[in-house]
Structure 1
């Protein structure tokens, strides 16, 4: 009987660490900017700038952790690059 070919998480932590550090930070910056752009109509601009700035660390650490949950470093790169593309596209669309 043939074993089930279940995907296992590969231990290529160098590539996953680089993806989480670089693309995770880039995505966290984009999401922090989206917080500022969306919230500036509802709150004072000075407050939104501070919330956006301090949210980057809170967003980056979970994104850095999530990069280790992908099967390989290549898939982590593809999905994080796709998420960055979507986030920056939304940011540039909303900023005008």
Structure 2
């Protein structure tokens, strides 16, 4: 129990800011594109494009804030990069 209490979040904010700003933005763009690819058969394209475009800041800001909750900056970079790889792999598979 004491080991969990002593484990604190490291204050290396440069790498966490980089992970949230760069990888968070690219992940938000990928998720916005996934909205278009998945919803193109269900919603009109003009509405869908606007929805995807305006969803990017709503997705990016929480991703930026979440990046500061990782224990180290290296962990933030690793997990955000892994999430990017997964999102872009799904996007390219669905686009065909």
Structure 2 partner of 1:59: 59
**TM-score scaled by structure 2?**
0.94
Q: Secondary structure at the match of 2:20?
A: helix
Cα-to-partner distance string for 1:53-96 (whole Å, 9 max, x where unaligned): 00000000000000000000000000000000000000000000
Structure 1 partner of 2:46: 46
Q: Which runs of 5+ in 1 are unaligned?
A: none
Q: Distance in 1 between matches of 2:26 and 2:10?
A: 24
Number of aligned residues = 94
Superposition misfits of 4+ residues, deviation over 4 angstroms: none
- Aligned-pair Cα RMSD in Å: 1.0
**TM-score scaled by structure 1?**
0.94
Q: Distance in 1 between matches of 2:94 and 2:45?
A: 16
